[in-house]
Structure 1
Amino acid sequence: MVQLYSHPDKLLKDHLFNVYQLGMKKFENKELNFNNLEKIKLVTKIVLISHDFGKSNKFFQRKLNLKMEGQENGEEYKRLDNDSKSNHSLLSSLFTYYIADELVDNNLLSLLGMIVVYRHHGNLKNFRDMVRIKEWGVLEEQFNNIPLEALQEILDLAEFEINITNLTFDKLRDKIGSRQFRSNVRKLKKRLVEESNYLIVNLIYSILISSDKAEAIFYSKGLNYERLEELVLSRRDIDPEVVDEYKKLKGWDKPESKMDEQRNIVYDEVVKNVRKADLNEDRILSINVPTGTGKTLTSLASGLELRDRVGQNYRLIYTLPFTSIIDQNFDVFTKVFSETGFQVDSSLLIKHHYLTPKNYIKADDYEDDEYDISKHLIESWNSEIIVTTFVQLLHSIFSNQNRSLLKFYNISNSIILLDEVQSIPHKYWKLVKVILERIAYKLDCYFIFITATMPLIYSEEKDEIKELAANKEDYFEFFDRIKLNLAEFREEKTIDDFKEFIVQELEDYSDKNFLIILNTIKTSVEIYEYIDELLEDRIIEGETIYLSTNIIPKERQERINKIGDSDQRQIIISTQMVEAGVDIDLDRVYRDFGPLDAINQTCGRCNRNFNPNKKGIVTLVKLINEDHNDKTYASYIYGNTLLRNTDKLLSELPDIVEEKEFFKMNKKYFKRVDDVKSDDISINLLDKIKALKYEKAFWKDENGEVFNLINQDFETVNLFIELGEQAQELWKEYKNINEMEIDGVEDYSKRKAKFEEIKKDFLNYVITIPKQVAKEQLEDEQLEKTFNLIDYYQYETVYDEQIGFKRDKSEVDTFF
């Protein structure tokens, strides 16, 4: 029998059978709650075994042989490479549909299997486009040049009870290209009325592409199937009491202050209620407690306790809104496990965001220096605990992208913790509510929402979410760390008005550390320079620290580390970036107007550790731009719905609001937001999801909005600031990497791997700013590349070491 290949020197039957075995083990290891599970399982089997059947056509095989002979630059190879007859996905999908239609009594599932195979090398499209076939002439020529006996041998390997050796093209076309088929498609489109079909497609698609990529990558690196299975499927047990042990090691089980005692009370109650939760009904949970109550350890403990109850094969996915907090929490988790005797490696714990290096390490002396393998293992979340961002999680649930959906199957059977969940835009609340609920029940998941300011995505009053901190009102009542001063908020202030006010405050409270949070980079720079002049003129004393996304990350982190570590009084001037999980504690905080949840985050930076001898003061002001029709600076950053509701609520409160009133204040705020918000965008997206309109929901829709967690209506550029010798060396390395010769996929992969080695250090010198701001200082040709160099000799003209990029007039700001 003819030898057919799937990849260079890889037999097609071996590749397909390996993918089939690996994929089915992934499927069978999952607890799933679909009504027609056995039929979904059968379709998954068919998809896995047949996904590359189209590669058996002689045109694909000839092209692959030429590649194996090293003739990729020859005329014949180039001609075949541009000839659609050497493609394989569409033809494979027709085989998938034929076999599924013969074996599975479900037309819709057969179609879903077909579109999964058709798009397994690309991104998912709209349902209608994925089932509309026009290339019948090409398909016929491909089909007539396929050895069906070889494909039958592969089906026999997987013990399918079907014979395709006598299949003709006319029979295949009659099944898929007939009027009856088109009529069935029209009828089936009317049945696409629930989100479960979307989850089924994503699950099978994810199992296929993750298994297909893994098998191809591992084989290309000389690793056998057994090693592949061991790395991808092996799991580890975690003692649910590891956080308790860690707390004992630190002596935190014996509190030395009221604050420590309160943290333990919160911790104990949350863990106790996890043990009591109804595992069938209580799938959406929450931990709604004040800032500074030890949410990180409490959340980890609750997740591990829940995992112990539902099964050790359930992953923990801990998500946060900003990359700046990821490293901080990851380091805490690492300490918990390493200090209690756990072997901490990538099989136990990984972090995943755009800055993390792709380096997968296992304790059994396995460190994968092969970039492709490490990248695959990390990006498909092969670990017990994943610390990642909302973007990584939600854009893996709401996506048509192959790369994003790679990890979707590992979202099933997981415990997903969303820390600072109030960061999810309110326009997506209904979308998130509906889809996460379906995921919880169909894919057997649990969600824990963690925040001091709980948004009304789910209603506790309607029993849609179960609170684990049952005595949360008592906890908010207990805290008496700060006062929110609204007296200055009553009247709008220009920047000059604010300068007069703040200098008086700095003089009156000369022994206090200050944090001043402004909404735009321009205002933050102006106030910083003003206060710096006051220091130079010895009108006030202390040292200034400036923080914003306008300065390079390396310098930003060094400045954050300095906060609280000085004999001098410190005055920190920052944009709202300091609210994003930066663990600092100041005496007096001043903030320009913003949504209430942002104001709450600000309050968490004041007297955070509950010093009973000094109550913190957070003063709110409302700054306006007199050069722009008295527009509030807050409106440059935040949406009108949140600002209007915050403004209205604050106008009803007394000048001084005690911290113990925050819980009621926050509850009232989110109730009002829920009442006035529009669900139109969510409803539109849900309609597109139900109809499997992947591209229109997640890529491009001229008549509606696509899902995008981070909205940015202006173009940005990346500037590499060559500040210091390390930066100079990094830019040289980057330039050398970019100049590496690329002759095929292997070389491209090597180049990416080389950049991964320097990526984290390299990005420490990169700022991302609006293009229109950059154009004030730089020519167009300096702004055209992925990373644009501001070299050592030029940077002083456009970059100030204290305030960062020199801006002129623009008020556009980036926060993410």
Structure 2
Amino acid sequence: MNLEKIIKSNKYIYSHKSEDEEENILLHLDRTKCVFFQIDSKYKILNKLRKTYGNLKFKLNELDFYLSEEAINLIENMFLYSVYLHDIGKINPKYQSEKMKNNFEFLSEEEKSTLCLNKIVSTNHSYLSSIVYIDLMQEKIDESKNISTKEKIVLYYLMLVNANIISRHHSNQSNLEYYFAKLEREINNAKMANYLYFYNKKLNINYEKISKAFINIKKIKFDETSVYIWNKILNSLLISCDFIATHSFYSKKSISEFKINCIEGKENIKDIFYKNPIYKGIESYKLNNRYFEENNLPKINELRSDILIESNNNLDKNNNERIFNIESPTGSGKTINSLSCALKLIKDGSKLFYVFPVNTLAEQTEDVLNGIFKGKLNTQIINSISPLPIKSTDKKIDYNKVLLDRQILNYESILTSNITLFNLFFGCGREQSMGLFSLFDSVIILDEIQNYKNLIWKEIVEFLYKFSEIMDFKLIIMSATLPNLEELMDFEDKKFINLIENPKIYYNNKLFKDRVSIENKLLNETVDFKKLLDLIKEEVNIWNKEKKEYAKFLIEFITKKTAQEFYMYVSKKLNNYTVFELDGDDNKIKKQSIINHLKKDSKELKSNILLITTQVIEAGVDIDMDLGAKDTSFPDLDEQFIGRINRSCLKEGCKAFLFNLDMANIVYKNDYRLVMNIDKNKDNYLKCLSNKDFSCLYDKVFNKINLTKGNWLCSEIDVFYKDLKMIRNKDISKHMKLIDINSFEIFIPTIIDGVDGEEVWSEYVELVSNIDMEYAERKVKMINLKEKLEMFTFSIKSNKSNKLNAFGGFYYIKNGNKFIANDKFDSSRFKKEYMCLLNAQ
């Protein structure tokens, strides 16, 4: 395609403008195309696209058909041209005049008045780019003589999908139907001649053909999930290529200088890992099964080694598969095991992703990786509060590059959250899904997948499999309470490979099974705070006398309110105790301070420790307590809690007491695990927990999911597949949202660990208000300030709008110190005082 001929007077049309230079539009489009080919050369994206559409089966009037080679060639070209033509709409004279300050000296004053000064003509270029794209692509489709009518329906549909992406590349993704509804009006817009003055072609879009194809595509059956995924991939690539090409212009650097970071020397990384003392110990154990015994090392190391060895062996037998499960007890070394497996799967050009339910686990794992690789593996935490890497030695910081690296996940190894991963898959925000292409050929480790919203487990399983198939990434799923999610799907062959063939062998080993005695005597009683306090005193006293050391006692409630109330109740009633309360309101610094205190050896303690907490402590947090008590919720969550007790398996006499205080069916009202509520299924509940066999729980959950998904004439899952087919991005994003709770952030300017909240707020206000600062610099500084902001920020759950005055996404609460008691935020008091404002409609 010769754009020099298509764009009239192209040497006078600009795409970007710096202080001393204009970037010609053809140069920007060429740069964008070059970036795409640079990425494609690494990940073979076009080959993967061809593979998907070559294998995709379509059905019309009960007859199957596949796309011809010529049709697939067109799909590949349309995909590539979506990136190449994304900014061709900048030929809009009004855009050139207002955004590029283009004087068009070769135009007459009358032409300038009509084209550039007309107030009713907009500067929009993205939608105009999509119009030109359709005009050029429809021509190519119609020119193809050997393509059948039904294939053309598919091609027209995919052309619209791509055009919708182009039209929104400077905004959030929207639904395809919204784009289609606007299309006829825009094609016939009386101002279109003005917009396309520099388009050296007559606009010849046949809307009637497009409309007919858009209707007929609904009659054709095909795998909607695959088309949706390529829609997300193209969106990621288009925006990323555009950003990288733009950075090239502003930084005055060649496209070839921009490096897509990934693991290049996999053998070097492996060599470092294999020289690690833990792995060397496992290798010694393989040669001599008495190695740990002879070196006076804990017997638990034998079990951990057996688990890793079995995982590695089964991986070697199935390394052509894509998805692997590691189900093993808490404290069995899943981090090292998963890393060992990941290094077997990793290729040169891969990235390594660790995905966690909570930020604390990312920080824990970062410490592990840094301890092993000593900085030889470029690792970055990506979440809402972790700062971006800026070298203190940098004289001139390229903030655009720092921000761009974060947006496209341009690191060798990424530690992030479930929310970030699902935003990559399903987010509509431009920057939410930019980095999706970085998942190509990568290895992703998912931790505690059972914590994902089980209302959408069926959809999650299908998407994980399809994304891994299309993007050719490997997936390692690990948990101590891992549901066999594959049972939700009708796969002909087994797709999820269990690296531990019989987890019960390890769960039933006395080192794991008997390390904590599960006590249920409180389940037969009405429990109140006094009874719980008496239990704590009694059990800690027994521990002190028998062990001659201080005890660490963990008690978990299922609501933050109850945890905070119990903390207030016991604070003045316990002597010779250090009492902590940890919940979702606590900032990273306090959380880490408490965890560090808990990690002290019992002999170092100067008093007994009582930690009062909520679910924030369940999922993999690395603490090792002696005794515990928990308000029951579900067997798998209770097991995660028990995993925080005697984690090292080195102690005897460790106990976990279960009690029933708050109503789980209110706290977890939409959770399908309520099918095994302790109030109704006490015996099965306790049997499931004591036997460490959670299949009885998950079987009931799977039945509930299948009943719910197909219970109506037009079932929920059918509606979802229609959303996929019609590329209803907003609806899909909403459906796949992991957390449904709505909340807003308040800022209370106290003083914490010598950091003055007022000063932090002033710095934030100055950043937000500084309109002279470049966008990238402000954005990077904002991200790097988040860690401090988070110290003074509290989340308030509310499904209603409110009349509080917001600034930059936060509600500043003047004199908010009154809501802080004993270093804790009193959310109940805050809600009472601000109730009239919080309940505003």
TM-based fold match above 0.5: yes
Matches of 2:747 and 2:685, distance apart in 1: 45
Matches of 2:13 and 2:517, distance apart in 1: 74
* 1:286 maps onto 2:325 in alignment: yes
The one-letter amino acid paired with 1:274 is L
Matches of 1:198 and 1:368, distance apart in 2: 41
Q: 2:15 is matched with which residue?
A: 6
Q: How does 1:400-479 map to 2 (within 5 A)?
A: 400-459=428-487, 463-478=494-509, 479=512
Q: How does 1:356-755 map to 2 (within 5 A)?
A: 356-359=386-389, 369-459=397-487, 463-478=494-509, 479=512, 480-510=514-544, 512-535=551-574, 538=575, 541-565=576-600, 566-611=605-650, 613-624=651-662, 632=663, 635-637=666-668, 639=670, 641-647=672-678, 651-653=682-684, 661-662=691-692, 664=693, 666-677=694-705, 678-679=708-709, 684-698=719-733, 706-713=735-742, 717-723=746-752, 725-728=754-757, 730-731=759-760, 733-735=762-764, 737-738=766-767, 740-742=769-771, 747-755=774-782
Q: How does 1:113-152 map to 2 (within 5 A)?
A: 113-132=162-181, 133=183, 134-135=185-186, 136-138=188-190, 140-142=192-194, 144-148=196-200
Q: 2:236 is matched with which residue?
A: 206
* 1:97 maps onto 2:134 in alignment: yes
Q: 2:838 is matched with which residue?
A: none
Matches of 1:206 and 1:477, distance apart in 2: 46
**Matched residues, percent identical?**
20
User: 1:146 offset after TM fit, Å?
Assistant: 0.7
Matches of 2:567 and 2:434, distance apart in 1: 45
Greater Cα offset, 20-29 or 765-774: 765-774
Matches of 1:61 and 1:772, distance apart in 2: 43
Equivalent of 2:301 in 256, 260, 266: 260
- Contact conserved, 1:316 with 1:384, CA < 8 A, in 2? yes
Deviations 1:773-816 (A, max 9, x none): 999xxxx657776334456xx4542201343336349799xxxx
Cα distance change on mapping 1:444 and 1:555 into 2, 3 Å: closer
* 1:35 maps onto 2:53 in alignment: yes
Q: 2:318 is matched with which residue?
A: 277
User: 1:607 offset after TM fit, Å?
Assistant: 0.6
Secondary structure of the structure 2 residue equivalent to 1:262: helix
Matches of 1:484 and 1:234, distance apart in 2: 45
- Contact conserved, 2:688 with 2:696, CA < 8 A, in 1? no
Count of aligned residue pairs for this structure pair: 741
Cα distance change on mapping 1:243 and 1:102 into 2, 3 Å: same
User: 1:564 offset after TM fit, Å?
Assistant: 4.1
Deviations 1:651-698 (A, max 9, x none): 125979886x21x2x121111111123336555433312321112222
User: 1:78 offset after TM fit, Å?
Assistant: 14
Deviations 1:56-95 (A, max 9, x none): 23222222342799xxxxx999986975443222222122
- Contact conserved, 1:360 with 1:367, CA < 8 A, in 2? no
Q: 2:839 is matched with which residue?
A: none
Q: How does 1:35-74 map to 2 (within 5 A)?
A: 35-36=53-54, 38-66=73-101
- Contact conserved, 2:32 with 2:241, CA < 8 A, in 1? yes
Q: How does 1:301-320 map to 2 (within 5 A)?
A: 301-307=340-346, 311-320=347-356
Secondary structure of the structure 2 residue equivalent to 1:402: coil
User: 1:406 offset after TM fit, Å?
Assistant: 0.7
Q: 1:702 is matched with which residue?
A: none
The one-letter amino acid paired with 1:284 is I
Q: 1:329 is matched with which residue?
A: 365
The one-letter amino acid paired with 1:585 is D
Cα distance change on mapping 1:758 and 1:714 into 2, 3 Å: closer
| Consecutive unaligned residues in structure 2, runs of 5 or more | 1-8, 55-71, 105-111, 142-146, 148-154, 285-291, 545-549, 710-714, 835-841
Cα distance change on mapping 1:275 and 1:367 into 2, 3 Å: farther
Q: 1:21 is matched with which residue?
A: 34
- Contact conserved, 1:349 with 1:384, CA < 8 A, in 2? yes
Cα distance change on mapping 1:797 and 1:718 into 2, 3 Å: closer
Matches of 1:250 and 1:675, distance apart in 2: 45
- Contact conserved, 2:357 with 2:451, CA < 8 A, in 1? yes
Cα distance change on mapping 1:377 and 1:750 into 2, 3 Å: closer
Greater Cα offset, 121-130 or 683-692: 683-692
Matches of 1:523 and 1:116, distance apart in 2: 47
Deviations 1:492-550 (A, max 9, x none): 43445544554544555455321111122222122223322222xx5xx3221221233
- Contact conserved, 2:91 with 2:196, CA < 8 A, in 1? no
Matches of 1:261 and 1:81, distance apart in 2: 79
Matches of 1:640 and 1:399, distance apart in 2: 23
User: 1:17 offset after TM fit, Å?
Assistant: 0.2
The one-letter amino acid paired with 1:244 is Y
Secondary structure of the structure 2 residue equivalent to 1:481: coil
Matches of 2:830 and 2:164, distance apart in 1: 51
User: 1:430 offset after TM fit, Å?
Assistant: 0.8
Secondary structure of the structure 1 residue equivalent to 2:177: helix
Greater Cα offset, 129-138 or 458-467: 458-467
Matches of 2:543 and 2:719, distance apart in 1: 53
Matches of 1:672 and 1:192, distance apart in 2: 32
- Contact conserved, 1:270 with 1:469, CA < 8 A, in 2? yes
- Contact conserved, 1:289 with 1:475, CA < 8 A, in 2? yes
User: 1:299 offset after TM fit, Å?
Assistant: 0.7
Secondary structure of the structure 1 residue equivalent to 2:666: helix
Matches of 1:481 and 1:434, distance apart in 2: 37
Cα distance change on mapping 1:783 and 1:144 into 2, 3 Å: closer
Matches of 2:468 and 2:25, distance apart in 1: 37
Equivalent of 2:212 in 183, 194, 198: 183
Matches of 2:720 and 2:612, distance apart in 1: 40
Deviations 1:147-196 (A, max 9, x none): 52xxxxxxxxxxxxxxxxxx313xx23x3x2x222112211243374211
Q: 1:628 is matched with which residue?
A: none
Cα distance change on mapping 1:233 and 1:102 into 2, 3 Å: farther
Deviations 1:223-250 (A, max 9, x none): 332222x356895535435432213588
The one-letter amino acid paired with 1:323 is N
Matches of 2:721 and 2:797, distance apart in 1: 32
User: 1:412 offset after TM fit, Å?
Assistant: 2.7
The one-letter amino acid paired with 1:10 is E
The one-letter amino acid paired with 1:43 is M
Cα distance change on mapping 1:807 and 1:147 into 2, 3 Å: closer
User: 1:449 offset after TM fit, Å?
Assistant: 1.1
The one-letter amino acid paired with 1:557 is Q
User: 1:751 offset after TM fit, Å?
Assistant: 2.8
- Contact conserved, 1:350 with 1:387, CA < 8 A, in 2? yes
User: When the two structures are superposed, what TM-score results if normalisation uses the length of structure 2?
Assistant: 0.81
Matches of 1:234 and 1:556, distance apart in 2: 32
Greater Cα offset, 732-741 or 113-122: 732-741
| Consecutive unaligned residues in structure 1, runs of 5 or more | 70-74, 149-166, 625-631, 700-705
User: 1:209 offset after TM fit, Å?
Assistant: 0.8
Cα distance change on mapping 1:44 and 1:426 into 2, 3 Å: same
Matches of 1:619 and 1:288, distance apart in 2: 25
Deviations 1:749-778 (A, max 9, x none): 433333334322332232223369999xxx
Deviations 1:388-411 (A, max 9, x none): 111111121123322222112222
- Contact conserved, 1:730 with 1:758, CA < 8 A, in 2? no
Matches of 1:557 and 1:361, distance apart in 2: 25
Cα distance change on mapping 1:288 and 1:299 into 2, 3 Å: same
Q: 1:627 is matched with which residue?
A: none
- Contact conserved, 1:121 with 1:402, CA < 8 A, in 2? yes
Cα distance change on mapping 1:657 and 1:748 into 2, 3 Å: closer
Matches of 1:773 and 1:561, distance apart in 2: 38
Greater Cα offset, 525-534 or 259-268: 525-534
Cα distance change on mapping 1:716 and 1:760 into 2, 3 Å: closer
